[in-house]
A and B are shown apart, each in its own frame.
Chain A
Amino acid sequence: MKAVVWQGTNKVGVERVPDPTLILQTDAIVRVTSTAICGSDLHLLDGFIPGMERGDIVGHEFMGEIVEVGRDVRNVKVGDRVVVPFNLACGVCDPCRRGLFSACDNSNPAPNARTVEALYGAMSPGGLFGYTHMFGGYAGGQAQFVRVPFADVGCFKIESDLRDEQVLFLTDIFPTGYQAAEQCGIVPGRDVVAVFGAGPVGQFAARSALMLGAAHVIVIDRVPERLGMAEAAGCQVINYEKEDVLLALRDATGGRGPDHVIDGVGLEAHGHGPGALLDTAEQKMRMSFDRITAVRWAILSCAKGGTVSMPGVYAGLVDKFPLGAAFGKGLTFRLGQTHTHRYVLPLLDRIQSGQIDPSFVITHRASLDEAPELYKTFRDKHDGCVKVVLDPWGQPGEVQKV
């Protein structure tokens, strides 16, 4: 089959690889009908996430049709059309039973989990599709077929006639943006929410904050097309290259600061100031994995007693972290991978009832063969690129811009 393969830092390619097979009786094989490139794939491309191996099949936003199931699979069958969360969850361990699916005890295989424990000081979170071997190194879904372990827990049937593009983002960015907004504990009609980063997760976080009743939502970025997309949803926007973002946020909130701030950026934040310069220098020298401008701004702008919610991905140790400000204002931090499984069905309901059509975020469509080119377009934010959807069975050729 064809698959997008990590070939080293700044290199992904489309290669012919063997078709996946059932390895355990709880596995399913899915024929992928649509897959997407995620912002967190860019961290792999740039080599900022350790633990990748040449030849790894990437991609963790995918959906398709089940073509084979193991003997012990009960909840889904061959022919079912399914979406598959980007994280793997066993469904039986204590965190899974509490709905903390991304904290699954068992889905990261033992030797990989031990490596993570050495870094994190406690038990490993769950495995991830198409990501670093720290989290299992499970083959990903930017491919024509994919093996889905824990199929009973990880395959969600789509029975309505919604198009792929309307439900595909239930696998990651819609739940990720939604969880980021939900865990702010927004008081409807009262709370003001700021979202750093108008990429795909930021777009869903902003729309989710509005759905959850935020009185006002402010989105911060520097890319005009992305800010335009947020404006179209009814958000105020701030271009941090044109305005002092901390002053602009104070002005927009009567001097209080936003009640909650969402960091939809993660470890490759751009930005100004000595902190941002030092972050970049350290990251270039591989002394640090993370550039944390977005978190710094989030903490400094947030209102007293507010929430800093962080769906953005971070990898390692950071310094020059304004802990004193966070303490002084009594902030609450909410962070971590999305418990995707918890949100698929409730958010599917919102799509079916017409509250949101997630396909708004798509700017580029192409066949899988165009993946290497589009990784770079997406990374460089060229051509107005916000979200890329790939058809693994499409004919190689033109990229279709929406």
Chain B
Amino acid sequence: MTADLSPNSPSPRPYRQHSTESLLSPTERGVMGVLGLAALTLSLRGGALERLLLGAVGVGLAGMAATGTNPLATALKIRQNEEGDTLVSDAITVGKSPEDLYAVWRNLTNLPLLMRHLKSVEVLDERRSRWTVPGPVGDVSWEAELTADEPGRRIAWQSLPGAAVENSGEVLFRPAPGDRGTEIRVNLAYRAPGGTTGAVIARLTGQEPSQQLRDDLLRFKREQELGYYPTTEGQSSGRAAKGGQQ
């Protein structure tokens, strides 16, 4: 399948594998610089507490603008590459063969079952597919193309120009040592709306893809090893008795 893809085609974008430093875009640095200076100016007036707070905020923002890094993002381990893409990766070991797991993943229409935040994936042809996610103001969809397809080893894709959220990704499969099945590694890169700041807000509200990816991989492992995923949804409790959920 998709024989025109070179088995050794490189990853769509370089990954700085374990760097934990976050870089701000020039726009973000500009905005933070202006806000920081404004806060510092305001801190020259007012009561002692206001001065202290505004001064601290001003120094923080100006410092972020000057150094081009976001310590909050760094603390939250939000990773970015040179181009300002947010990088997300994770790994899990699943007790099945690489061939079996690759086959599940390669059937792209399965992906919404694996990744809960995807609404649908429509296969357009051998290489191209249309991905749809629900957004805060209606569905967002984009087209993506496969950039690598190595049965039992690797699948990679990249969004086509014009995507609302530019993104790329790859899934790697390799046998785990001993009789433990397959180590799956997922690498994703996306241009976060709002840059680093947007990524920080998303992380703090639990919407950031690294959290979604972890849940997805934990569900995928359970689905593959058990044939279902364990749940307590719908179980009895003292909350149900009072008309609440569960």
Q: Which of A's residues lie within 8 Å of B, judged by CB?
A: 1, 3, 5-7, 15-21, 23-26, 53-57, 88, 90, 92-94, 105-111, 113-114, 117, 127, 136-139, 143, 147, 149-150
Pick from A24, A107, A139, A150: contact of B236, CB below 8 A.
A139
**What separation, in Å, do the CA atoms of A90 and B225 have in the docked complex?**
9
Q: Which residue of B lies closest to A94 (CB)?
A: B180
Q: What is the bound-complex CA distance between A105 and B92, given in angstroms? A: 11
A5 contacts across to B, CB distance below 8 A? 237-238
Tell me if B238 and A57 are in contact (CB < 8 A). Answer: yes
A147 and B235 contact, CB distance less than 8 A: yes
What are 7 inter-chain pairs, A to B, with CB distance below 8 A? A3-B238, A21-B234, A23-B231, A24-B231, A55-B240, A92-B95, A111-B215
In the complex the two chains form, is A17's CB within 8 Å of B218's CB? Answer: no
Q: Judge whether B95 and A57 touch: CB under 8 Å.
A: no
Q: Are B236 and A18 in contact (CB under 8 A)?
A: yes
Q: Tell yes or no: B106 within 8 A of A by CB.
A: no
Give which listed residue, B225, B226, B232, contacts A139 with CB less than 8 A: B232
Residues in B whose Cβ lies below 8 Å from that of A92: 95, 225-226
User: What's the Cα separation between A17 and B181 when bound, in Å?
Assistant: 42
Nearest-CB distance from B163 to chain A (Å)? 28
Q: Which of B180, B215, B230, B241 has the most CB of A within 10 A?
A: B230
Residues of chain B contacted by A56 (CB below 8 angstroms)? 237-238
B236 partner residues in chain A, CB cutoff 8 A: 1, 3, 17-21, 57, 139, 143, 147
Instruction: Report the bound CA distance from A55 to B239 in whole Å.
Output: 5
Name the B residues within 8 Å of A15 (CB-CB).
238, 241
**If A90-B225, A106-B222 touch, does A20 touch B215 (CB 8 Å cutoff)?**
no
- Asked if B221 lies at the interface with its beta carbon under 8 angstroms from chain A, I say yes
Q: Are A7 and B238 in contact (CB under 8 A)?
A: yes
Q: B232 — which chain A residues lie within 8 A by C-beta?
A: 23, 109, 136-139
On whether A127 and B234 interact (CB within 8 A), knowing A17-B241, A105-B221, the answer reads no
Q: Kindly state whether residue B105 has any CB partner on chain A within 8 Å.
A: no
What is the chain B residue whose CB lies nearest that of A53? B239
Do residues A107 and B230 form an inter-chain contact, with CB atoms below 8 A?
Answer: yes
Interface-centre pick from A25, A108, A111 (highest chain B CB count, 10 A): A111
Q: Are B235 and A20 in contact, CB atoms less than 8 angstroms apart?
A: yes
Q: Mark B17-30, 1 if CB is under 8 A from A, else 0.
A: 00000000000000
B110 on the A face (CB < 8 A): no
| B240: contacting residue among A6, A17, A23, A127, CB under 8 A | A17
Knowing A106-B225, A110-B222, the reply to whether A149 touches B237 (Cβ < 8 A) is: no
From residue 209 to 225 of chain B, which have CB atoms closer than 8 A to chain A?
211, 214-215, 218-219, 221-222, 225
Interface extent on B, as a size class? 20 to 34
Q: How far is the CA of A168 from the CA of B215 in the complex (A)?
A: 36
Query: Once the chains are docked, how many angstroms separate the CA of A106 from the CA of B231?
Result: 10
Residues of A within 8 A of B95 (CB): 92-94
Report B-chain residues with C-beta under 8 Å of the C-beta of A109.
229-232
Residues of B within 8 A of A (CB): 93, 95, 180-181, 211, 214-215, 218-219, 221-222, 225-226, 228-242, 244
The 6 closest A-B pairs by CB, nearest first: A55-B238, A55-B239, A5-B238, A110-B218, A20-B236, A17-B241
Contacts A106-B230, A109-B232 known; A93 to B215 CB distance under 8 Å? no
**Minimal beta-carbon separation of A324 from chain B (angstroms):** 32
Alpha-carbon distance A9/B215, docked complex (angstroms): 30
Residues of A close to B221: CB separation below 8 A: 105-106
Cα(A93)–Cα(B233), bound, Å = 22
Min distance, Cβ B99 to any Cβ of chain A, angstroms: 19
With the chains together, A117 CA to B210 CA distance in Å?
13
Chain B residues lying within 8 Å of A1, measured Cβ to Cβ, are: 236
CB proximity of A391 to chain B, nearest CB, Å: 20
Report yes or no: A57 in contact with B219, Cβ–Cβ below 8 A: no
CA separation between A88 and B228, bound complex, in Å? 15
Known: A106-B226, A110-B229. A55 touches B237 (CB 8 A): yes
The answer to whether A54 touches B230, judged by C-beta atoms less than 8 angstroms apart, is no
- Closest A residue to B211 by beta carbon equals A114
In the complex, which of the residues A24, A108, A136, A138 contacts B228, with contact meaning CB atoms closer than 8 Å?
A: A24
Contact partners of A26 in chain B: CB under 8 A: 228
Cα-based distance from A247 to B244 in the complex (angstroms): 56
Decide if A110 touches B240 in the complex (CB within 8 Å). no
Q: A24 CB to closest chain B CB, in angstroms?
A: 6
The residue from B228, B230, B238 contacting A17, defined by CB atoms under 8 A apart? B238
A23, A54, A150: the one contacting B235 at CB < 8 Å is A23
Cα(A238)–Cα(B225), bound, Å: 49
Shortest Cβ distance from residue A21 to the other chain B in the assembled complex, whole angstroms: 7
B230 adjacent to A90 (CB under 8 Å): yes
Asked if residues B238 and A149 are in contact (CB atoms below 8 Å), the reply is no
| Central interface residue in B181, B238, B240, by most chain A CB within 10 Å | B238
Residues on B with beta carbons closer than 8 Å to the beta carbon of A138 = 232, 235
Residue from the set B211, B226, B241, B242 with the largest chain A CB neighbour count within 10 Å: B226
Shortest Cβ distance from A71 into chain B, in angstroms? Answer: 12
Cα–Cα, bound, A18→B225 (Å): 31
Which chain B residues lie closer than 8 Å to A107 at the CB level?
230
- Inside 8 A of B180's CB, which chain A residues have their CB? 94
Residues of B within 8 Å of A19, CB to CB, are 236
Contacts A3-B236, A15-B238 given; indicate if A55 touches B244 (C-beta within 8 A). Answer: yes
CB pair A54 B222 closer than 8 Å: no
Least CB distance from A207 to B in Å reads 35
Q: What would 8 more interface pairs be, CB under 8 Å, given A25-B228, A94-B93?
A: A15-B238, A17-B238, A17-B241, A18-B240, A23-B233, A57-B238, A88-B230, A113-B218
- Distance A105 CA – B238 CA, assembled complex (angstroms): 28
Which residues on A sit within 8 Å (CB–CB) of B242? 55
Chain B: which residue is nearest A19 at the CB level? B236
Are the CB atoms of B231 and A57 closer together than 8 Å? no
